[in-house]
C-alpha cells in the first residue's frame, strides 16, 4: 500500500504544538520565525495556522493572520489526522506529536543552529535522528548545520535558506547609535540538555544593578524564562522588553549568553557582548557559539569584567567588526532580505 507520506498535496498547515505549559505564551518565537514564510507563500496554498493557546492566537492576530485555536494538544493532533497535508513546524522536537498523525512535515529552524553532543542525538536540537520518519523537508540557516542534518537524516531534503525572521531587518538601513547608547541583555532558559544550552543568568545577575546605574538597560529573555526574570529585572530598575523585535528596534548593543538572539542582533551589524559562564565547557568544540565564532563580540568570563566588556564593545574596533562579520556570515548564509522567499520556494517544490 502506498504511504501517505510523500504524496503530492495542495495545502500546507503551519502548526505550533503545545509545550508542557501550553497555557503560557512560551512558543511565540516560533511564530515570529514562521510568519514571514506564511506571507511569502501564495495565498492559495496556505491552510490553517494552528495553535493551542489564546496568547499565541493573539500573537498571530497581531501579524494579521486569523489563527485556528485548539483547546489542547490532543485536540490539535486529532484534527490534523483528518487530512494528510504537509505541516510546517519551527521546533525540532515538535515532530514527535506530528508523527502520530502520519502527516508529512517540514521543519523551519527557529535558531541559528547550535548543536551539542551530537553523539547523544538530542531530540530538540539539530542532528537528532528522533521523530524524523515523516520529515520531508528541513529549512536551515547555514550550510554548517545543514550538513549536520544531511549526515543524520540522509532521507530528508535539506535546504539552506537563511533566517526569514530577519528579512525585514536586513532590508532596513543601519540603526544610528543613540546617545547615550541603549544596552540590552538577553538570557536563554534553563535548558538542561547540555551545559552550553543553559542560561548564564545566575552568574551575572548580581552585576546587573551596577550596569543599570551606568547605562540605559533593557532586559529580555527566552519565552521560557522571561516570566521568572521580569520581577528580578524590575527590582534592578531594568526595563523589561519581552518582544525581541523591540530589542532590535531600540538597543545599540546586546549582551547574550547561549541564545541565538545574539547572532541575530550581530547580523544587524551592531556590537554584542558574549556572556560566558563557568559551566560552558572549554576543550570541546560544537561550532559557532561554542567555540568557533564566540568572538562575534567581546567575550566576558567574569561578572567583574562585564562593564569593561560593554565599554570595549561600544568602541567597536576594526578587529571586532571583522570578527562580527565573519561570525554572522558563517551563521547566516543569506542576509539579503529574501530568506522567506527561498523557504517558500522550497516548500512549493515539495507541494
> Within 10 A of 179 (CB to CB), how many other CB atoms are there?
6
pLDDT for the residue 111:
86
pLDDT, mean over the chain: 91
Residue 1, domain member (yes or no): no
- pLDDT, tens digit, for every residue of 127-145? 777 788 899 999 999 999 9
Residue 268 grid cell: 544587524
pLDDT for the residue 306:
98
Residue 234, domain member (yes or no): yes
State yes or no: pLDDT of 123 exceeds 70: no
Residue 84, domain member (yes or no): yes
- pLDDT, tens digit, for every residue of 319-336? 999 999 999 999 999 999
Residue 327 grid cell: 561570525
pLDDT for the residue 23:
41
Q: Stretch 228-253: mean pLDDT, rounded?
A: 97
Residue 315 grid cell: 568602541
| Total number of domains constituting the chain | 2
pLDDT for the residue 19:
55
pLDDT for the residue 338:
98
Element (H, E) at 309: helix 306-315
Do 93 and 191 sit in the same domain of this protein? no
Residue 75, domain member (yes or no): yes
State yes or no: pLDDT of 2 exceeds 60: no
State yes or no: pLDDT of 117 exceeds 80: no
Do 195 and 299 sit in the same domain of this protein? yes
Residue 2, domain member (yes or no): no
State yes or no: pLDDT of 22 exceeds 80: no
Do 25 and 117 sit in the same domain of this protein? yes
State yes or no: pLDDT of 25 exceeds 70: no
Q: Stretch 206-214: mean pLDDT, rounded?
A: 97
Do 186 and 310 sit in the same domain of this protein? yes
- For residue 199, give the CATH number of its domain: 3.40.50.12580
- pLDDT, tens digit, for every residue of 251-290? 999 999 999 999 999 999 999 999 999 999 998 888 899 9
Do 17 and 105 sit in the same domain of this protein? yes
Q: Stretch 289-313: mean pLDDT, rounded?
A: 97
Strand order in the sheet with 298-300: 239-240, 216-221, 182-187, 253-256, 272-275, 298-300
Sign of the CA dihedral running 240, 245, 248, 250: negative
The answer to whether 240 touches 233, Cβ cutoff 8 Å, is: yes
- For residue 134, give the CATH number of its domain: 3.40.50.2000
- Give the pLDDT band (50/70/90) at residue 11: very high
Do 125 and 244 sit in the same domain of this protein? no
pLDDT for the residue 73:
87
Residue 278 grid cell: 563557568
How far is it, in rounded angstroms, from Cα 111 to Cα 129? Answer: 18
How far is it, in rounded angstroms, from Cα 132 to Cα 157? Answer: 12
Residue 150, CB-side half-sphere exposure with 13 Å CA sphere: 11
State yes or no: pLDDT of 81 exceeds 70: yes
CA angle 241/123/220 to nearest 5° reads 10
Question: What is the span of the domain harbouring residue 68?
Answer: 12-163+336-350
Burial class (CB in 10 A: 0-12, 13-18, 19+), 292: middle
pLDDT for the residue 24:
46
Do 91 and 40 sit in the same domain of this protein? yes
Sign of the CA dihedral running 350, 101, 89, 42: positive
pLDDT for the residue 6:
42
Higher pLDDT, 283 or 34: 34
The rounded percent of the chain whose pLDDT value lies above 90 is 74
State yes or no: pLDDT of 182 exceeds 90: yes
Residue 43, domain member (yes or no): yes
Backbone angles phi, psi at 53, to 5 degrees: -150, 150
- Which of 120-129, 172-181, 303-312 has the lowest average pLDDT? 120-129
Residue 298 grid cell: 567581546
Do 28 and 106 sit in the same domain of this protein? yes
pTM of the model as a whole: 0.92
Q: Which DSSP state fits 296?
A: G
State yes or no: pLDDT of 214 exceeds 50: yes
Do 195 and 175 sit in the same domain of this protein? yes
Do 320 and 190 sit in the same domain of this protein? yes
Q: Stretch 217-228: mean pLDDT, rounded?
A: 94
Do 217 and 311 sit in the same domain of this protein? yes
pLDDT for the residue 238:
98
Contacts of 21 (CB under 8 A, 6+ apart): none
Q: Stretch 77-90: mean pLDDT, rounded?
A: 92
Residue 3, domain member (yes or no): no
- Which of 19-23, 34-38, 59-63, 157-161 has the lowest average pLDDT? 19-23
Nearest to 105 by CA among 90, 129, 86: 86
The answer to whether 94 touches 14, Cβ cutoff 8 Å, is: no
Residue 6, domain member (yes or no): no
pLDDT for the residue 272:
98
How far is it, in rounded angstroms, from Cα 176 to Cα 235? Answer: 30
Do 340 and 294 sit in the same domain of this protein? no
Amino acid at each position: 500500500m502506498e504511504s501517505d507520506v510523500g504524496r503530492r498535496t495542495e495545502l500546507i498547515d503551519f502548526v505550533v504544538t503545545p509545550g508542557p505549559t501550553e497555557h503560557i505564551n512560551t512558543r511565540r518565537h516560533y511564530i515570529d520565525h514562521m510568519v514571514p514564510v506564511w506571507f511569502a507563500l501564495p495565498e492559495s496554498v496556505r491552510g490553517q495556522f494552528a495553535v493551542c493557546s489564546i496568547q499565541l492566537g493573539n500573537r498571530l492576530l497581531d501579524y494579521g493572520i486569523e489563527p485556528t485555536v485548539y483547546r489542547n494538544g490532543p485536540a490539535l493532533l486529532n484534527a490534523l489526522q483528518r487530512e494528510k497535508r504537509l505541516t510546517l513546524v519551527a521546533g525540532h522536537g515538535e515532530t514527535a506529536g506530528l508523527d502520530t498523525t502520519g502527516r508529512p512535515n517540514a521543519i523551519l529552524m527557529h535558531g541559528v543552529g547550535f548543536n551539542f553532543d551530537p553523539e547523544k542525538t538530542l531530540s530538540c536540537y539539530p542532528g537528532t535522528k528522533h521523530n524524523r520518519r515523516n520529515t520531508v523537508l528541513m529549512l536551515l540557516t547555514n550550510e554548517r548545520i545543514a550538513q549536520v542534518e544531511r549526515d543524520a537524516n540522509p532521507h530528508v531534503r535539506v535546504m539552506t535558506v537563511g533566517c526569514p525572521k530577519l528579512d525585514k531587518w536586513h532590508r532596513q538601513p543601519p540603526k544610528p547609535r543613540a546617545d547615550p547608547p541603549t544596552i540590552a541583555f538577553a538570557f536563554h532558559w534553563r535548558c538542561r540538555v547540555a551545559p552550553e544550552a543553559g542560561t548564564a543568568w545566575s552568574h551575572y545577575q548580581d552585576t546587573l544593578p551596577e550596569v543599570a546605574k551606568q547605562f540605559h538597560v533593557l532586559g529580555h529573555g527566552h519565552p521560557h524564562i522571561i516570566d521568572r526574570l521580569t520581577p528580578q529585572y524590575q527590582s534592578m530598575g531594568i526595563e523589561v522588553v519581552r518582544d525581541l523585535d523591540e530589542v532590535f528596534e531600540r538597543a545599540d548593543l546586546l549582551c547574550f549568553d547561549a541564545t541565538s538572539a545574539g547572532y541575530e542582533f550581530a547580523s544587524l551589524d551592531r556590537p554584542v557582548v558574549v556572556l560566558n559562564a563557568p559551566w560552558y565547557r572549554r576543550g570541546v568544540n560544537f561550532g559557532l557559539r561554542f567555540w568557533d565564532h564566540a568572538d562575534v563580540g567581546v567575550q566576558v568570563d567574569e561578572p567583574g569584567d562585564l562593564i569593561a566588556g560593554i565599554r570595549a564593545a561600544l568602541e567597536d574596533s576594526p578587529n571586532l567588526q571583522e570578527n562580527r562579520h565573519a561570525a554572522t556570515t558563517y551563521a547566516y548564509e543569506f542576509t539579503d532580505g529574501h530568506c522567506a522567499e527561498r523557504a517558500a520556494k522550497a516548500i512549493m517544490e515539495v507541494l
